[in-house]
Chains A and B, each alone.
Chain A
């Protein structure tokens, strides 16, 4: 339940029937006239990342002691070109928990640099601190990576603008864990510079004729279910509401579109 402190959730307060309030992708883009909302940093809408084409090569690893080291890959940059591997190891083969982290903080594929090894102690909490985004002068603060009792988690203060956390799935049980090989490793993609996406939070089932909560995370997707990185509930300007549109059919088979605003945060 500790994840909840870092999550933006929204709850429906208004629900109007049969409106066209949530246009499709093309309409949205045309209406906005392109980007520019993020300080003019982007002049085009970035393509969605094809995670199947992400290079999973690790150029060099230090000697690892764990029988089953664990792997995860973070992407940075608007196009996700900077690849930062995180590899969990043990200080001794017989240890139960992973207490050593190798983080390829300069994204050169070599995790053997002396400033790329971190110790997490018995709690498996790796306090990285400042993290300069590879290839840029942007410094993120208070990067923390944790894995304890099979649960993986990260948190970072993003360029002084947002607190990001992950990985999140649509339920408490579905946050992705690290994997036993680079080929199977989950891919996480933190950031706020790209257009945002959304993920369920415990709200995939709606009951007819009843009031239903619908809650979402806002952030960026990774390569699979459970790899979502979200902003916190303070990120969006006060009063700004996420729009949703339920697209369903009625019992006569006619398509219905019902729009709403997600007004609450928690």
Chain B
């Protein structure tokens, strides 16, 4: 995963889910990440 050079340093969110085509359901899960 290449994070852009102009991304602001500090806390960010990685939003994760299964695709709509999945055989399974998921909650959208926001995982905290830090950009350095």
Chain A interface (Cβ within 8 Å of chain B)? Answer: 12, 15, 17, 22-25, 28, 31-32, 35, 37-38, 42, 45, 48, 192, 194-200, 203-214, 216, 218, 236-237, 240-253, 256, 258, 260
Contact = CB atoms under 8 A, between A and B. Distances in A.
B24 to A, nearest CB: 5
B4 A17 contact: yes
The 10 closest A-B pairs by CB, nearest first: A248-B12, A12-B1, A209-B5, A195-B25, A198-B16, A198-B29, A247-B13, A196-B26, A245-B15, A212-B1
Contact of A213 (B1, B12, B24): B1
Contacts of B16: 22, 198, 216, 242-245
A208 B4 contact: yes
11 contacts: A15-B1, A37-B23, A38-B24, A195-B27, A196-B25, A196-B26, A212-B3, A216-B31, A245-B14, A245-B15, A250-B4
Chain B interface, >50% SS class: loop
A205 B2 CA distance: 12
Contacts of B12: 206, 246-249
Nearest to A12: B1
Contact of A207 (B3, B18, B24, B27): B3
B7 A248 contact: yes
B34 A210 contact: no
Given A195-B27, A213-B1, A216-B31, A240 B36 contact: no
Interface of B: 1-9, 12-29, 31-36
B36 A195 contact: no
A258 B27 CA distance: 19
A246 B23 contact: no
Given A195-B24, A196-B25, 20 more contacts: A22-B17, A35-B25, A37-B25, A195-B26, A195-B27, A196-B26, A204-B32, A204-B33, A205-B33, A205-B36, A206-B1, A206-B35, A207-B35, A214-B1, A243-B18, A246-B13, A247-B12, A248-B3, A249-B7, A250-B7
A250 B8 contact: yes
Contacts of A200: 31
A242 B18 contact: yes
B27 A256 contact: no
Nearest to A245: B15
Contacts of B27: 25, 48, 195-197
B22 A210 contact: no
Contacts of A205: 33-36
B20 A28 contact: yes
B8 A28 contact: no
A250 B24 contact: no
Nearest to B20: A31
